[in-house]
Amino acid sequence: MRRYREFHRESIDRPEDFWRREAARIHWQTPFTEVLDRSNPPFARWFAGGRTNLCFNAVDRHLDTRAQQNALVYVSTETGIERRYTYADLHAEVNRMAAVMRSLGVQRGDRVLIYLPMIPEAVFAVLACARLGAIHSVVFGGFAAPSLAARIDDAKPTLLVSADAGARGGKVIDYTPLVDEAMARAEHAPPRVLLIDRQLAPERLNAPYLIDYEPLREQHYNAHVPCEWLESNEPSYVLYTSGTTGKPKGVQRDVGGYAVALAASMEYIFEGRAGDTMFTASDIGWVVGHSYIIYAPLLAGMTTVMYEGTPVRPDGGIWWRLVEQHRINLMFTAPTAIRVLKKQDPALLRSADLSSLRTLFLAGEPLDEPTAVWISDALGKPVVDNYWQTETGWPMLAIQRGVEALPQKVGSPGVPCYGYDLVLRNEHTGEPCAQGEKGVITLSYPLPPGCMQTVWGDDARFVKTYWESVPGQQVYSTFDWGVQDENGYVTILGRTDDVINVAGHRLGTREIEEAISSHAAVAEVAVVGVNDTVKGQAALAFVVLRDAGAAADPAAADKLAAALAATVDRQLGAIGRPARVHFVSMLPKTRSGKLLRRAIAALAEGRDPGDLPTIEDAAALQQIREAVEPTGKA
């Protein structure tokens, strides 16, 4: 039986031996000549000289053994549509999409920007790009036109794939005006936009660059497009991370390293097996969707469930009914979604047959103890937290149950995953921290397979941003604070740029959030730091209550705010007490569940919140504005 410590140690001390073994999980058209090319640090080239293809490994490779197994199950509670695609069906649809793209001029190395809702064609488009050797850049379907235009200009795509509309919470989101505005704004607009017509938009604009997908699909119905065999280190995709200002930052991923890393993660972290069914409740516009809706389950020969809708429509039992109906074995979502479901009628969970479910995985934000305890007790199944970033592509902290089922530690996502030489370092000296000492979470060179290669089109930015921020050390900075205990468990304390310096005392916003969240009245909370003329910074708390009416009148609100401040006093001391508590009914966050703290802080200080990940967050942001405006300032 494997033991975690020895397993992890081997991956750090002998990475070439470790990853050579793992590379056997995928098909190589041409064997690699070197497991790891370290000739140009901090860049690392994995499986150099090897040629492979992500689409072949995710689809074609399974046709001999599981052609009639479901590969993709699509469920939309927005439209009432459900579709099932076997591996044979998926292969045919991907070939049709690839043939259409090829007919529109897409070639190996070209970029294809995908701006789609959660529909099967989004999966087809991603895999078609991989098949052609094109570089896909998926932009979340809720991005506003200026953000879409900025990504167009950075990626310079040959083709944009979009739809007439998306749907969320029963509301239709018309995409074509957003595409039209982005195309008009962009300096490098592609000549064509391939449009998936869902017939949801009330009126479709007929710009000259719009091309309907369906007639071309019919034209290429029986097409077979051969896979382009790519050198392992050629780019597979570019995924942009959001920022408050400046040029979008495109995380560039390779082909071979990514395939190997995801295939290994399905066994060691997720305990997924060929024939299993996995439901990842995220969006393809985020890295979780790339890795664990599309690529990883298919690489492992599993069935992946793609869901369009919310966790509470038509009611709070929909996800649990999906588990029952589709015999889902593995489920992956964000703690935010579980906190939402916690407020629903518990009978909705109890009434579903969840016997097929083996494990619930949570990531995207820290998992608080009340939520962890509730869902674990409610399901009676293992609940596995994990921590990673767009930049890493797969978890860097987790309990790796496929290696050794170490005990969970509430509040910690786990221990460093194999391949990651993770060290907490002092922000001033760069030296490793002692056990229990707060430090910046860093990764030593080389990053394991599957992590970002560079920033798209800007190697210098990659080096400066990620590898030169820790004094005296060339190490990768996650820009997250953490603390590690004597058993190796790491607890995340928040972003380094979210640290509040109150009268010389440095406090992580997450620490204050945890204290406020422990109050029984609180459902969700976001704490941000704002400028203060006396203390340098002050903490503001934006709180969602379990009972929306609990703070309906000013007297009740003041009393509850005082109670929350007292709770912080008790847990962190008076220095951590928020200067003000604002009650709101929702918090702005991404589809994957991450709170938009920078946008909240910007609004609290009267600044432009900048590049926002979703247009559906407008109402939540407006609540933040209204909360802070009565005083003119926060």
pLDDT at 516 over 60: yes
- Cα–Cα distances (Å) from 425 to 80, 250, 296, 413, 415, in that order, read 50, 26, 32, 19, 16
Lowest mean pLDDT among 232-246, 306-320, 324-338, 439-453: 232-246
User: What is the maximum alpha-carbon separation in the chain?
Assistant: 72
pLDDT at 364: 82
pLDDT band for 626, please (50, 70, 90 cuts).
confident
pLDDT at 630 over 60: no
pLDDT at 369 over 90: no
**142-158 tens-digit pLDDT:** 677 878 898 999 999 99
Nearest to 4, CA basis, from 490, 487, 492: 487
**CA–CA distance, 377 with 354 (Å, rounded to integer):** 13
pLDDT band for 506, please (50, 70, 90 cuts).
low
**4-53 tens-digit pLDDT:** 999 999 999 999 999 999 999 999 999 999 999 999 999 999 999 999 99
Task: State whether 464 and 555 are in the same domain.
Answer: no
pLDDT at 551: 82
**CA–CA distance, 286 with 562 (Å, rounded to integer):** 38
| Count of C-beta atoms within a 10 Å radius of residue 35 | 20
pLDDT at 346: 86
pLDDT at 593: 67
Task: State whether 433 and 528 are in the same domain.
Answer: no
Task: State whether 194 and 62 are in the same domain.
Answer: yes
Task: State whether 466 and 523 are in the same domain.
Answer: no
Whether the Cβ atoms of residue 312 and residue 318 lie closer than 8 Å to each other:
yes
The tokens for 558 are 């003041």
More confident residue, 320 or 611: 320
Domain-terminating residue out of 426, 445, 480: 480
- Sheet of strand 303-308: strand arrangement: 82-86, 70-76, 303-308, 277-280, 330-333, 359-362, 383-387, 397-398, 415-416
**CA–CA distance, 464 with 443 (Å, rounded to integer):** 15
Domain assignment present for residue 267? The answer is yes
Residue entry with tokens 């005006």: 177
Domain-terminating residue out of 414, 449, 480: 480
**CA–CA distance, 472 with 25 (Å, rounded to integer):** 38
CA count, 13 A, side-chain hemisphere, 29? 18
Task: State whether 393 and 522 are in the same domain.
Answer: no
Nearest to 442, CA basis, from 426, 427, 424, 454: 424
The tokens for 321 are 């009914």
More confident residue, 608 or 520: 520
Task: State whether 175 and 253 are in the same domain.
Answer: yes
Task: State whether 173 and 44 are in the same domain.
Answer: yes
pLDDT at 355 over 60: yes
Percent of the chain with pLDDT over 90: 71
**Distance, CA of 228 to chain centre:** 28
- Looking at the structure of the chain, the number of domains it has is 2
pLDDT at 82: 97
Whether the Cβ atoms of residue 530 and residue 570 lie closer than 8 Å to each other:
no
| Helices and strands in the chain, H and E counts | 21, 32
pLDDT at 533: 57
Mean pLDDT of 451-459: 97
pLDDT at 248 over 50: yes
Which one of 87-91, 366-370, 578-582, 594-598 scores highest in mean pLDDT?
87-91
Which alpha helices (DSSP H) does 327-417 contain, by range? 335-342, 346-350, 369-379
Domain assignment present for residue 272? The answer is yes
> Is this model's pTM higher than 0.75 or not?
yes
Calculate Rg over the CA atoms of the chain.
Answer: 24
Lowest mean pLDDT among 399-408, 554-563, 607-616: 607-616
pLDDT band for 631, please (50, 70, 90 cuts).
very low
Mean pLDDT of 109-119: 97
Domain assignment present for residue 341? The answer is no
CATH classification of the domain holding 572: 3.30.300.30
Domain assignment present for residue 548? The answer is yes
For residue 396, which amino acid is it? Answer: M
Q: Which residues pair with 423 in a beta bridge?
A: 442
pLDDT at 531: 80
pLDDT at 141 over 90: no
Residue entry with tokens 């400066």: 464
**CA–CA distance, 608 with 602 (Å, rounded to integer):** 6
Task: State whether 430 and 525 are in the same domain.
Answer: no
The tokens for 487 are 């058993």
The tokens for 123 are 């999966």
Indicate the helix (H) or strand (E) that contains 383. strand 383-387
pLDDT at 634 over 50: no
For residue 57, which amino acid is it? Answer: N
Whether the Cβ atoms of residue 111 and residue 125 lie closer than 8 Å to each other:
no
Burial class (CB in 10 A: 0-12, 13-18, 19+), 484: buried
Mean pLDDT of 525-534: 80
Lowest mean pLDDT among 227-236, 591-600, 607-616: 607-616
Domain assignment present for residue 61? The answer is yes
Mean pLDDT of 200-207: 76
What integer best gives the mean pLDDT of the chain? 91
The tokens for 439 are 């430090």
Domain assignment present for residue 622? The answer is yes
The tokens for 223 are 């097409």
pLDDT at 591: 64
pLDDT band for 268, please (50, 70, 90 cuts).
very high
Domain assignment present for residue 18? The answer is yes
For residue 587, which amino acid is it? Answer: L
pLDDT at 588: 84
Mean pLDDT of 317-344: 93
pLDDT at 30: 98
For residue 558, which amino acid is it? Answer: D
Domain assignment present for residue 498? The answer is no
Count how many residues are written for the chain. 634
The tokens for 201 are 């938009």
**CA–CA distance, 207 with 185 (Å, rounded to integer):** 15
Nearest to 397, CA basis, from 386, 408, 411: 386
Task: State whether 474 and 593 are in the same domain.
Answer: no
The tokens for 499 are 């640290």
- Which long-range contacts link 234-238 to residues 24+ away (Cβ below 8 Å)? 234/109, 234/133, 235/135, 235/453, 235/456, 236/54, 236/130, 236/135, 236/136, 237/126, 237/129, 237/135, 237/136, 237/137, 237/138, 237/290, 238/111, 238/135, 238/136, 238/137, 238/155, 238/456
The tokens for 496 are 């380094």
**CA–CA distance, 50 with 31 (Å, rounded to integer):** 5
**610-620 tens-digit pLDDT:** 666 554 556 78
**CA–CA distance, 123 with 90 (Å, rounded to integer):** 9
Percent of the chain with pLDDT over 70: 93
Domain-terminating residue out of 480, 495, 522: 480
Mean pLDDT of 322-331: 98
Task: Provide the 3-class DSSP secondary structure of residue 122.
Answer: helix
CATH classification of the domain holding 11: 3.40.50.12780
pLDDT at 488: 96
The tokens for 623 are 């609540």
pLDDT at 500: 66
Angle formed at CA 386 by CA 529 and CA 445, multiple of 5 degrees: 85
pLDDT at 245 over 50: no
pLDDT at 632: 39
pLDDT at 417: 98
Task: State whether 587 and 556 are in the same domain.
Answer: yes
Task: Provide the 3-class DSSP secondary structure of residue 560.
Answer: helix
Residues 6+ apart with CB under 8 A from 35: 15, 16, 19, 20, 23, 46, 47, 48
Task: State whether 398 and 523 are in the same domain.
Answer: no
Task: State whether 137 and 246 are in the same domain.
Answer: yes
**Residues of the domain holding 603:** 503-631
**CA–CA distance, 162 with 67 (Å, rounded to integer):** 29
